[in-house]
Chains A and B, each alone.
Chain A
């Protein structure tokens, strides 16, 4: 880099000094202009401005100080003006600075050093020019930046800020100066800010850290860029942080994402988004070994709306349809329709909706318990859509055809499931629209039957389709029945008698067991009271479902039923299964003790088929053990069954419990069980279950000596 020739103006009234100065400056490579007094110097500068002005102090006319002051005024602050003055003339040096001189050279002048002196001055001058230009550039750049800039120290304290012109937040931004980030920023923003400083300090670069501020005009997003100020380090480190408002970009990104994954008309996920979601759900279902259902919906008659009323009306219907699906298939809706009373029922299906295009919608159900759940949702969708849409004053009713494909049965990838659901939807159209079809036709039938049973069961109580039958429990020592077990029967209007084995599990699942159980209890109590009124003393045993047993209101329910019927508690026995006791809670154990304290008997049903834990027997207020029919069935041939019965009786004896044997079908069995010490016997050998009206006859019956065979001696 070759520096341009330095132009020097020198004024001195002494010709020798001028000559020497010219020689010395030329030797240093300068262009020299000479003036012999102050006015001449001013004129020379006016004609040709120069880089450095050197002025003798003592000149006739205007002296050096006056010339300096005028030049400073006219030529700006930067031009170096050097006063040449006596070495001992301190006062003159002071005056020189007051009049704006840059520096001074003492006389006698050291001519050999003068050139160096000028070079140093020029370097300083040029550095100052560069600095001024850099500052001007920086200022211009900052003013052109639309972003606020902050300077922070190592502790995160704002030490300065630059706010762009027209910045609406100028005042709050400026007020940050002097505060630390910890004092001024919300915790989440602070975290981003500190992370940005740390990243910059560690890696020397930090861009793209984003944060959101809740501002009066709404939420705004910002992106932070931080750089360490050159030449600062450690405790003196200074960071420059630029905070760019990227809200518009965020909004655009979110719009792009919505366009990519959501249907702009309805706001529902689009096909791509739906397929992604199905893939994710399939992976999860595989992991968790659960079922999925993919429902394919098509609005029957939608094409007609589009054709007769136009696309605007059609789009309106699609939006309303989407709204109905969204609003009507929330988990709470599905829970309310199914069973909210079963305390630990399996989680209900989660529904994800999408619009594939046209009038085709899909719903993905995860956490499916059984195919029927999918049909229920499909029926719900049918109900939602069947409500009339009011378009331009006209009421338009649409139905829906739904096809359902199940994972894993009907396919194990999204495309297959979608294809099969589509196929099933066309079958729904074929069979007359406004219905739902599973991809597997036989499954549809079975599920429909199950659903039908469910629906019928819900109506059975109202329609009085249940009745009770009773089976006697005979005391072999007296030959008389003092207790009967109540058993429920359901007569379906079209199917006839339905086995409790079929409908009790369903009732337990859909929560009807509570009301059915209550009906059984009340009916049995009322029947027993009637027999009592007829002078017959008989206790009644009622089965309790595990679901009922878990209900915290069990005790009060039973007590209320007894009180309402007037049956003495000592004539009621509740039968529980071992599985009901398995998950017993403290509350229900307390209920059992409460019942026992009132005199209600508690029987352990089906003993021997479960865990047969002795701890139940010792810790719970059991009064009666019922040996399961499977142990009786093989008797008397099966010696090991006899051994078990003997052991159970021995154990029960020692605990003071009664033992009832179920399933007694032959005289031999009755004789053996009596010999083994059972306290009561129940089974077809004595009587099938009979209707309530037939019970009094049984109660009057006297069964004779078992050794003599099934000879009965009925008492009229």
Chain B
């Protein structure tokens, strides 16, 4: 089961994975966190928290053979490298009315989004996949537009986290 999103738990997740002696700020509110320009420990996760399921960080550290961030980096980096390209493919397929290609690409992206903990994005791609499967291309277009926005947020969040674990 995915745990419900909470900023606090995201902070905790990162705190557990980062070297000791780097305490996080206590109780950083979301607005406060987003408003702050300083790249401190609290800000990064706070921004990421909006789009990323924090549990994925624990999982990726857990799965890493040495318990480090390598796997996280690998998965996040590949997502960042391929996500926009795939988004473009979907836009083209939609424009060309190629529902099947659209469906397949959405299916693949749904899976990728889940892998990086972008649950909201994954659900949008899932909805897009269903629309494509049912040839409701107009609605598919709406979901694709939503996904485009969300994907931008996800990218920022992933980049933030990557920087954080660098």
Contacts and interface: CB of A to CB of B under 8 A. Distances in A.
B93 to A, nearest CB: 15
Contacts of A19: 71, 74-75, 78
Interface stretch (A20-28, A552-560, A599-607, A699-707): A20-28
B79 A16 contact: yes
B124 to A, nearest CB: 14
Interface string B58-95: 01101111000001001100110000000000000000
A311 interface: no
Given A16-B79, A23-B65, A107-B114, 19 more contacts: A15-B78, A17-B111, A17-B112, A19-B74, A19-B78, A20-B75, A20-B115, A23-B63, A23-B64, A24-B63, A27-B62, A27-B63, A88-B126, A108-B111, A108-B115, A110-B1, A111-B59, A111-B63, A112-B59
Nearest to A28: B63
A20 B63 contact: yes
Interface string A1-40: 0000000000001111101100110110000000000000
Interface string A134-162: 00000000000000000000000000000
The residue among B60, B75, B111 with the most chain A CB atoms within 10 A of its own CB is B111
A399 B118 CA distance: 123
A58 interface: yes
Nearest to B75: A16
Interface in A565-597: none
Contacts of B50: none
Interface residues of A, number: 20
A326 B162 CA distance: 115
A14 B64 contact: no
A15 B93 CA distance: 22
8 contacts: A14-B108, A14-B115, A16-B78, A16-B112, A17-B111, A26-B65, A109-B114, A111-B59
A20 B112 CA distance: 11
Contacts of A110: 1
Q: By DSSP majority rule, is chain A's interface helix, strand, loop, or mixed?
A: helix
Nearest to B79: A16
B52 to A, nearest CB: 14
Interface of B: 1, 59-60, 62-65, 71, 74-75, 78-79, 104, 107-108, 111-112, 114-116, 122, 126
Please name the 10 residue pairs, one residue from A and one from B, whose CB atoms are nearest each other, closest first: A108-B114, A23-B63, A16-B115, A111-B59, A16-B75, A23-B71, A24-B63, A16-B112, A14-B111, A16-B78
Contacts of B112: 14, 16-17
A20 B59 CA distance: 10
Most buried by B among A13, A16, A17, A109: A16
A115 B20 CA distance: 29
Contacts of B114: 107-109
A174 to B, nearest CB: 56
A108 B111 CA distance: 7
A20 B111 CA distance: 12
Contacts of B65: 23, 26-27
Interface of A: 13-17, 19-20, 23-24, 26-27, 58, 86, 88, 107-112
Contacts of B63: 20, 23-24, 27, 111
B162 to A, nearest CB: 15
A65 to B, nearest CB: 15
B83 to A, nearest CB: 11
B85 to A, nearest CB: 13
A418 B104 CA distance: 112
Contacts of B62: 27, 111-112
* Residue among A24, A26, A108, A112 with max Cβ neighbours from chain B (10 Å): A108
Given A16-B115, A17-B115, A24-B63, A108 B122 contact: yes
Contacts of B64: 23
Contacts of B122: 108
Nearest to A108: B114
Contacts of B75: 16, 19-20
Contact of A20 (B71, B104, B126): B71
Nearest to B71: A23
A356 to B, nearest CB: 95
Contacts of A13: 108
B104 A58 contact: yes
Nearest to A84: B111
A107 B71 contact: no
Nearest to A27: B63
A107 B65 CA distance: 23
Contacts of A108: 111, 114-115, 122
Nearest to B70: A23
Which of B79, B104, B108 has its CB near the most chain A CB atoms (within 10 A)? B108
Contacts of B78: 15-16, 19
Contacts of A20: 60, 63, 71, 75, 115
B3 to A, nearest CB: 12
A88 B79 CA distance: 24
A20 B64 CA distance: 9
Nearest to B114: A108
Contacts of A58: 104, 107-108
A551 B74 CA distance: 128
A16 B79 CA distance: 8
A111 B65 CA distance: 14
